[in-house]
Structure 1
Amino acid sequence: MVRVQQVVSTVALVLGVVALVVVPRLAIGLVPALFMTGCLLVVGLLARTRTLGLRPLLLLMGISAPWSLLIAHATLVIGEAIGLSTADDGARIALAAFVEEPGKLLPLLALALLAPGRVRRLAAVDWALLGFATGAGFTIAEDGARRLVPPGLIAELLGEDRLQYSLNPWTAGRFLIHGGSWAENLLELDTPVEVVATGHQVPTMGVAMGIALGLALWRTAKPWWRAVAWLPPVVMLTMAIVDHACYNATVGWTGWADQDTAIPTWIRLAWHVRGQGRTQIAVSVVLFIACMLVDARRRHRAGVFGDVVIEAPKAPALPMTGVPLALRAPVQAVVWLAAYTWSDLAIIAAAYGDRTLSRRARMAEGRAMGVQVRGVRQDAMTVTTPGTEPAARNAFRLVALTVGAVMLAVCLWYGTALAQDIGSWLQQPDWPYFFAGLLDGLAQWWDSLGVLGQILVTALAVLLLAWAGLSVAAALGAVGVGTWVLSHGRGIATFLQDPAAATRSYAANATWEQLLLDGADFALTFIPGSALGLGTRKAARTAAESVAVSRAARREIAGLTEVNNLFAQRDAAKAVRVWTEQQVTDWVSGLHTVVRRPYNSAIQYQHRVLGTNVEHVIPTGVPGETIVADAVTKEGNIAVAWEAKYTEGGANSLYEGGRPDFLYKKLDDEIKRYGRVISNPDNPVRGLTIITNTEKAAEFLSSRIRSILGEDFPLTIKVAP
């Protein structure tokens, strides 16, 4: 599989270079995608408290690009429903702002509904990255489509007015309106900037950071903070809508804000107070830093779960006794953020610099350690997230759905009312295309490439997606979907403009042969794409593997309350109920049994050392959960469970610790089930005996079981060759 990936990537690289040279406007159209990808990587590097990897962020950015088509279609449909066309200023200003800005947040709402358990445990800066990715996808779709469509005659004569890009996440793709006369602007003289509008990624990231900070305020459980927890997301969404609407109005008439217009006074006032868009970047950067400070405090509060390895630099306690909370909290957060940043970087750098490994192994070890460091941050976020599953997860899903529905309802209600009030008073003649028009132009561009050009563009797209982290199969599937959209762009554009008429026309004119061909075309494009998109995962090794082991043990201590309180529960159960010998006998006799045939050496060893081929099924106390013990014996008024663990020894022996840690999941699950059995007062099992055939296996099993269940767990290890 790796060989196939290398071959496909090499071929795609060659064809991609050729495509950039021979396909018209392709290089221009890819500028937003390339720079937005680079900006996402940069902001990911700056986010020193993130728990998300880059692959899900790139995937979300890719999904958000086609999602913008649906947002554009929604704008058209809503405008037509209230009697406005795309030429009316109400649709261009009010609907564009009040539909697009909340619409870009819907992928985040979908994540909260589909994976509430993971989303509620996100770091604050993770929200910032998710918001950046969704906004960047919108920028890619909008500006990429605009660049691919050939310019008109005037644009060819005077030059195209394109957005400028860089690797600065906050300034890439921004819109500028300069002061001065039209002649000065035409000659590109150095005129002052009067109005600024950042790319879509910045306001969407701002709203997402508002959500994260609102959650942090709510989780303080203090009444005053909870009372204002709704302010950050509401204020940031309002500012995003205001900036969007006011910039669109300024494009048509720079003096609109000084006149008595249909745009409300509060919008004009908010626009002026915030410097006509010039404060967007400063506010976003401040919120980004605030999110990392919140995460640093949470990680420090997590205690040992926030530490990667014992020898790593530690964050100081910094009590600052007597200092007011208003000063103490931010100072502590800054110090802890710096300490954790230095510690994480030092650990990852040490993994990359391990001279005992080959160069290739060092690279793999460094990447694996980076994954484990993010995992430690995720563990810290998990243990500091309040609530008990699954109730907290379901409550989070319900609240997210309610808040999302209210947000959409309010934005649609106010946006449509404002759009009708504005009407067409600005009369802006030169407005960029809506997505339906852009899609039709893209279809014309795609058809003009011919078969060779389409193959070259497809190869380049596969290369870019593979470099972004997708497998070759997933990249081929995704590109297949994209080329299908381009090939059917005119039909899709017609459908977006008038779905009912397009459907009636297709139904009236399509033949059975055409229906079959279109169905096969759709199935071969979409169904294999999802099936082939399955990736593979690699296990962390060496030092990174040991970090993973530590994390797993700590998660069990935090995540299973019976581990923290296991023996207290067991002692309480003993005090409450004392079994008689007859009750123990009756309980053992009532267990379901399994007779195991001796078809391999491990079971033959089990039957020989235990003296029985009958295994017993013991309920753990968790509904529907059981454990099959190799034997159960009666010892007075208690019962003891027995397990036989046979090993053939050697470097790869499972029971002697010779396998990678991920292969021990089944064994660890078995150990935890026995812990639940012994802490359950509804059975008389009060001990576990492990019998194995080597001293090394006995040492390993004893160490692993006690690392999970504690030193006081009633465990007996015996060696029987």
Structure 2
Amino acid sequence: MTSSIFALSMPWAGAVGWFSFQVAAAAGVGVNQPASQVVIAAAVEEPAKLVPICLVAIIAPGRVRRLLVQDWLVLGVACGAGFMAVEEVARRLMYIVANTPGFQLSKAICPEDPAGIVECMHAHTFSLWPLSDAFPGPVSYAGHAVVTGLVAVSIGLARHLWWRARHHHPAVGVCLRCAALGLPLGTLWVAIVDHMARNAVSTAGGWLAGVAPVVKAWGLTSNEAPWPVVGTTSTLAGSGQGRGWMLLVMLVVALLLDARVMRLGGYTHALTGAGRSGPGGSWGPPGGVVGRWGADVAEAAAAARTGAHRLRLALARAAAARRPRLLAQAWAEHRIARDLAARRQLDAGPHRWATSALAAAALLTAAWVIYTVVPPLVTDLDHRLTDPPPTFWLAGILDLLGALWESMSPTEKTALALIGTAAVLLSGGTLGLALEAGLGLATVLDAARPTATLMRDPWGTTNHYLTTHNSLEIAADAALTAAALVPGGKTLHGAGYATKAGRSTGRAAVEEAGTKAARAAEHSAARTRPQSIAESQAAHNNAHRGTQRANTPTEKPRSADKPGPGPVDERADRGDGRDVKGRYADGNAGAHMYDQSEAKGLEEYLDDLDADGVSVSEVIEDKHLAHINGAPQGRYYDRLIQREDGTWVGLEVKSGQSPYHGTQRAADNMVSPDNPARVRLDDGRTIEITEVQMKRVEKQQ
């Protein structure tokens, strides 16, 4: 059976190669790419090498049920050896026959004899000794024969644990059967990780005689494991080291475990004809753990001694009678006695069809995993290895810093700048350096969110800046930027920020009054919709007038004959091209241009809601910046409308043929109940816009 498995594994190796090409095609990645070499070679080859054993289990399930643990080990080594023989021969032939630059360089540098060129090319060689280090380096791979032998012996050990669970307490039996289910899967996973680690090793140099190559673990995957679970498993499993020793240890353990099966099955009795109560009898195991394991060791030694003795006698009789058939007959009797003992213990229960069903289920599961799970993993790894490194992670950090800065009050911002100044001053820095550090910290945090927006969408952000700033504002920003690059520039820039902070302090002073005004404007059942809208608009207008009064310097009382202060200009530029209500300020190209169109659009939208039987709780005419997660920049909606169910709608009004360009449309399409646009109002409230409506009206004169 071992020779049949070995012979079947050799042509099957070609089929495994064809499967690997199909998986690479499904992933859209070439087989010569690092992602394919690391993932496909490991995830496809390691389970596929066990297919010959699964086929035998389907065709001859009774024979597989009687396999001992040591039989599984030998069959696994045969599967891996047959696969490795074909793979290594094909690899060397393709490398030598192909006219590659690497081989041309080898011909020019390496010796002419075959042994010398193999050693010069650092080609791996294998031997029958399982402890030979075929793949030296930081990550080792013992070869297909040893690794597949370990996976197969884990299946045999799981089968033995399942059988032994019948002879223990039910609780212990449950634990043994759970271990039997997890042991083969865990061993196969370690084999896949070992294969991944080996294929991810990069080797550089070493072409010159006496110069060792530079070997790096995970060199093909940017010097780190492709996934954390792979790196953790490789580290815990010893990076593939010592697999040959593990195979020898498992062989000894298999002999001891199989000895109990042979003793309970009457193997020694069948060979020697001794009584059932003799040392080789099949009575129950002795009491105690030590007694049972001692009996297993004694049975293994007795079986080995008896078998060797019978074979020696058969060889002597065959030589004396000159009949070699006597030796073959003695060997056949030995195999029959062994098979009968295994049949009595391992193949005595019902449901013998379960072996074929389990083998077929294992084949189908492996095929499903290979064709559905592996290709996406290969594609993901290839993108991470070949695509340029993303810079959005830095933009995310800047967004977090910007959100933190915007959530702080003016007092907290000033305290943070003073803390930075004090830290530099107490560490021995000069007063000028300390002031530059503190004000520079405030400047950096204030510019964090715009910088993040610029990193995500440079062209869109630049276009938005140019369309919302006039020439004078652009010149002023350029002058401030230039001033920040010369000594003392941070102080000038910080002074500009201090002016903005003072303005914010004035708005905060009337926050309480604005809150009370907003509460007075809430919807009630007794009010009609027009009354509610009018009151809410009046409340917001009062809040803005309070803000402007707070920003106006306090003057001493004037005499009756002197004129008082003039009226406040609500259309004055607040610093960003818009007035205190968020509208285009006087002097801006868009000032007053769309007021009538926006009012017309609001009127039509409210009529649509009336027709649908939906009432409105509040309408906000002021324009506020709405922040949308994933959008390159914020949005200013023409009107904010709260419906009776409490949801907010952002209304965008387009006049005539005014374009609804891609940046606005893309940002509006991102708004949903799961990703709302957040707006902070002047009265301190933060609302969430869950829907955007666009109304197109005729251009108003």
**TM-score (norm: length of structure 2):** 0.46
**TM-score (norm: length of structure 1):** 0.45
Higher relative contact order (CA 8 A, sep 6+): 1
